C-alpha cells in the first residue's frame, strides 16, 4: 500500500512539475528571456510607442512618421566597439541589399541610441559615417529625456547591463515594424542577406 | 507488529496523557525551530541581501538558491514527528519528497527564470517561497527516510545536473540570461563542473575507503528494523 501511495503521489508531483515547466517555457519552446520575447512579439504584435526622438540632424523624429513603411530598428550606443560596430556594418550592408525598396520609400532603417548622454546628433552622425552610410534610408536618433529612454527600454524589451568597463552589454536584435506601426517580429542580427530576404518577402506579401 | 508501533505511538500518547500543556509546548518548540529559518528566508528576500545575491548569475545560483534550500531543509526540524510518520505512508523511502524537490528545482535552472526573478517581483516571490518550501523542506523531511539506493539516485541526479548545466553555460556562445554578462555565465559553468566533479570524487573516495554514511543508513535500518518499520506496517 505504501508503495502504491508513494507511486501515486510521485506521479502527481511529476505531472504537476511537467505542467509548471511547460507553462514556464511557453510549451518547452523558450528557455531564455530573449526567445520568450521573440515568441511573444510574433504571437502578439505590439503598437509602437508614441515617442519623439532627436535625429542625427538634430530634428524631431516621431516614430509615428514611419507609418506606411516597413521599419527595421536596431539599438546601439556609439562608444560600443563590439556588437554595435557589427550592427552599424549590417545596416550599411542592408542599405545596399535593399536599395530599391528604400528608394521607393517602402523600407526605412533606424538606429536608436540608449546612451543619449554621450550620443548627441554629431556622435550619431559620425556613427553612421563610420560604418559607410550609403546616404539613404538610414537614420540614427536618440531619446532626449529619461522618460522617453524608459519607454524605449520597456516597449522594445531592451535589456542593458553595464559591462563594468564603462560600456554596456545589451540584447542585440533587429526589431521589425509593419506599415501600421506594429512591432511584428524580432530578427536575429548578423546575417544581412537573410534579413534582406525576409524584408523583401514582407513587402511583396 | 505491536512492538514497532510503540515507538511512534508513544510520542502521541504522551501528548494525550499529559493534557494540552505538553502539546502546546511541542507547538511552541516547533514554532521556535521554524522561526529562525523563516526569518533568514525573509532577510534573503529583502534588501540589501536580495540585490546583492541577485547581482550575478553565479551568486544567485550557487549562493542564494542553495541558502534558501538549506533554510527550508532546517524547517523540517519543526515538523512534528507524528506528521512526518503520517506522511511516510505516501512517501516510502522519501521518494515522493525527492520527486517533489526535483520538480520544484527544475524551473529554477532555466535561464529565463533566473532573469525573471530579477525583473518581476511575482517571480521573485515564487522563488523565495518555493525554494525553501518545495525543495528544501521535502528534502529535509525525506532525507532520513532515504536508504542507500534513493540517496544514490539523488546524488547521481545532482552530479548529472551540475555537469549538464555547467556544460551548457560554458558551451553557449551567447548570453542565456539578458540580465547577466557572458563572463559571469561562463564562471558559473566552470564552478558547476567543479562542484559536479568534487561531489563525484568525494562519493567515490567514500565508497572506496569505507565509512560511507549512505551505506550506514542502510545498515542501520537492517540492524534496527524497528526504526523504520512502524510506518511500513500500516
What SS3 class is residue A61?
Answer: strand
Q: Are residues A137 and A195 in the same domain?
A: yes
Looking at every residue in chain B, the average pLDDT score rounds to: 81
Q: Of B84 and A153, which is predicted with more confidence?
A: A153
Confidence check: pLDDT of B4 > 70: no
Task: Identify the band that residue A171 occupies on the pLDDT scale cut at 50, 70 and 90.
Answer: confident
Q: How far apart are CA B166 and CA B158, in angstroms?
A: 12
Give the number of residues written for chain B: 234
Q: Name the residue range of residue A12's domain.
A: 2-30
Domain count, chain B: 1
Mean pLDDT over B189-218 rounds to: 81
Residue with the three cell numbers 520597456:
A154
Residue A35 domain flag? no
For residue B174, the model assigns a pLDDT of 81
Chain A hits for B96, CB-CB cut-off 8 Å, are 6, 9-10, 13
Q: How far apart are CA A151 and CA B209, in angstroms?
A: 62
Nearest-by-CA chain B residue for A32 = B112
Q: Are residues A79 and A22 in the same domain?
A: no
User: How far, rounded to the nearest angstrom, does the alpha carbon of residue B181 sit from its chain's CA centroid?
Assistant: 29
Are residues A52 and A60 in contact, defined by beta-carbon separation less than 8 angstroms?
Answer: yes
Q: Are residues A69 and A163 in the same domain?
A: yes
- Substitution target in A33, A37, A83, A168 with the highest count of B β-carbons within 10 Å is A33
Confidence check: pLDDT of B221 > 70: no
What SS3 class is residue B12?
Answer: helix
Residue A172 domain flag? yes
Chain B hits for A1, CB-CB cut-off 8 Å, are 89, 234
Residue A49 domain flag? yes
Contact between A5 and B231 using a beta-carbon 8 Å cutoff: no
Domain count, chain A: 2
Task: Identify the band that residue B89 occupies on the pLDDT scale cut at 50, 70 and 90.
Answer: confident
In this complex, which of B93, B100, B181 lies closest to A163 when CB atoms are compared? B181
Contact between A32 and B177 using a beta-carbon 8 Å cutoff: yes
Chain B hits for A161, CB-CB cut-off 8 Å, are 178-181
Mean pLDDT over B197-223 rounds to: 69
Residue A17 domain flag? yes
pLDDT, tens only, B57-73: 999 999 999 999 999 99
Confidence check: pLDDT of B212 > 50: yes
Q: Are residues A86 and A115 in the same domain?
A: yes
Contact between A25 and B110 using a beta-carbon 8 Å cutoff: yes
Q: Are residues A88 and A175 in the same domain?
A: yes
Q: Are residues A96 and A163 in the same domain?
A: yes
Q: A-B interface: how many C-beta pairs under 8 angstroms?
A: 88
Percent of chain A with pLDDT over 90: 60
Contact between A33 and B115 using a beta-carbon 8 Å cutoff: yes
In this complex, which of A10, A20, A36 lies closest to B96 when CB atoms are compared? A10
Q: What is the ipTM of this complex?
A: 0.74
For residue B213, the model assigns a pLDDT of 55
Chain A hits for B100, CB-CB cut-off 8 Å, are 13, 17
Q: Are residues A145 and A199 in the same domain?
A: yes
Q: How far apart are CA A170 and CA A162, in angstroms?
A: 9
Q: Which three cell numbers stand for residue B145?
A: 527516510
Long-range contact pairs involving A57-64 (C-beta distance under 8 Å, separation at least 24): A57/A121, A57/A125, A58/A121, A61/A139, A61/A141, A63/A181, A64/A181
Contact between A161 and B180 using a beta-carbon 8 Å cutoff: yes
Chain B hits for A32, CB-CB cut-off 8 Å, are 110-112, 115, 176-178
In this complex, which of A14, A33, A36 lies closest to B99 when CB atoms are compared? A14
Least confident window among B34-48, B49-63, B200-214: B200-214
Q: Are residues A99 and A160 in the same domain?
A: yes
Q: How far apart are CA A142 and CA A140, in angstroms?
A: 7
Chain A hits for B104, CB-CB cut-off 8 Å, are 17
In this complex, which of A9, A14, A24 lies closest to B110 when CB atoms are compared? A24
pLDDT, tens only, A180-195: 999 999 988 888 899 9
Chain B hits for A30, CB-CB cut-off 8 Å, are 112
Task: Identify the band that residue B22 occupies on the pLDDT scale cut at 50, 70 and 90.
Answer: low
Q: Of B158 and A88, which is predicted with more confidence?
A: B158
Q: Name the residue range of residue B138's domain.
A: 2-233
Least confident window among A79-83, B109-113, B170-174: A79-83
For residue A82, the model assigns a pLDDT of 72
Contact between A33 and B91 using a beta-carbon 8 Å cutoff: no
Confidence check: pLDDT of B222 > 50: no
Confidence check: pLDDT of B11 > 50: no
Residues of B with CB under 8 A from a CB of A: 88-93, 95-96, 99-100, 102-104, 106-107, 110-113, 115-116, 175-182, 231-232, 234
Of the candidates B31, B228, B54, B28, the one whose C-alpha atom is nearest the C-alpha of residue B148 is B228
Q: Are residues A90 and A7 in the same domain?
A: no
Contact between B115 and A32 using a beta-carbon 8 Å cutoff: yes
Contact between B92 and A159 using a beta-carbon 8 Å cutoff: no
Residue with the three cell numbers 505531472:
A15
Q: Are residues A115 and A68 in the same domain?
A: yes
Nearest-by-CA chain A residue for B85 = A2
What SS3 class is residue A162?
Answer: strand
Can you give the CATH number for the domain in which A196 is found?
Answer: 3.40.30.10
Q: Are residues A22 and A73 in the same domain?
A: no
Q: Are residues A86 and A155 in the same domain?
A: yes
Amino acid at each position: 500500500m505504501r508503495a502504491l501511495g508513494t507511486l501515486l503521489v510521485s506521479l502527481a508531483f511529476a505531472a504537476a512539475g511537467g505542467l509548471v515547466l511547460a507553462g514556464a517555457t511557453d510549451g518547452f519552446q523558450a528557455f531564455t528571456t530573449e526567445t520568450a520575447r521573440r515568441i511573444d512579439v510574433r504571437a502578439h504584435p505590439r503598437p509602437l510607442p508614441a515617442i519623439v526622438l532627436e535625429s542625427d540632424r538634430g530634428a524631431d523624429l516621431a516614430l509615428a512618421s514611419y507609418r506606411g513603411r516597413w521599419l527595421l530598428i536596431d539599438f546601439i550606443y556609439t562608444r560600443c566597439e563590439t556588437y554595435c560596430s557589427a550592427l552599424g556594418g549590417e545596416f550599411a550592408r542592408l542599405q545596399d541589399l535593399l536599395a530599391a525598396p528604400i528608394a521607393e520609400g517602402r523600407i526605412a532603417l533606424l538606429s536608436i541610441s540608449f546612451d543619449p548622454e554621450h550620443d548627441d546628433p554629431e556622435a550619431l552622425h559620425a556613427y553612421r559615417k563610420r560604418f559607410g552610410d550609403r546616404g539613404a534610408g538610414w537614420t540614427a536618433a536618440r531619446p532626449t529625456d529619461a522618460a522617453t529612454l524608459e519607454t524605449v527600454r520597456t516597449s522594445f524589451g531592451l535589456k542593458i547591463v553595464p559591462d563594468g568597463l564603462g560600456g554596456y552589454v545589451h540584447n542585440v536584435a533587429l526589431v521589425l515594424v509593419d506599415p501600421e506601426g506594429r512591432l511584428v517580429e524580432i530578427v536575429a542580427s548578423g546575417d544581412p542577406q537573410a534579413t534582406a530576404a525576409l524584408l523583401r518577402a514582407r513587402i511583396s506579401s | 507488529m505491536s512492538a514497532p508501533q510503540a515507538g511512534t505511538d508513544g510520542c502521541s500518547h504522551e501528548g494525550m496523557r499529559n493534557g494540552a500543556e505538553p502539546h502546546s509546548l511541542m507547538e511552541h518548540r516547533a514554532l521556535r525551530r521554524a522561526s529562525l529559518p523563516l526569518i533568514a528566508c525573509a532577510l534573503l528576500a529583502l534588501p540589501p541581501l536580495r540585490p546583492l545575491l541577485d547581482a550575478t548569475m553565479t551568486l544567485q545560483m550557487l549562493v542564494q538558491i542553495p541558502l534558501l534550500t538549506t533554510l527550508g531543509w532546517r524547517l523540517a526540524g519543526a515538523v512534528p514527528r507524528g506528521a512526518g510518520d503520517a506522511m511516510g505512508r505516501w512517501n516510502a523511502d522519501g521518494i515522493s519528497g525527492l520527486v517533489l524537490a526535483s520538480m520544484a528545482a527544475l524551473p529554477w535552472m532555466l535561464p529565463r527564470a533566473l532573469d525573471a526573478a530579477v525583473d518581476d517581483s511575482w517571480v521573485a516571490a515564487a522563488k523565495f517561497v518555493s525554494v525553501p518550501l518545495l525543495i528544501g523542506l521535502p528534502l529535509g523531511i525525506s532525507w532520513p527516510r532515504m536508504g542507500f539506493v534513493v540517496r544514490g539516485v539523488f546524488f547521481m541526479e545532482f552530479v548529472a545536473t551540475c555537469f549538464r548545466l555547467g556544460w551548457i553555460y560554458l558551451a553557449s556562445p551567447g548570453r542565456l540570461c539578458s540580465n547577466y554578462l557572458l563572463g559571469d555565465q561562463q564562471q558559473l559553468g566552470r564552478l558547476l563542473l567543479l562542484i559536479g566533479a568534487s561531489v563525484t570524487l568525494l562519493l567515490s573516495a567514500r565508497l572506496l575507503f569505507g565509512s560511507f554514511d549512505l551505506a550506514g543508513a542502510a545498515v542501520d535500518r537492517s540492524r534496527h528494523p524497528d526504526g523504520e518499520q512502524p510506518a511500513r506496517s500500516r
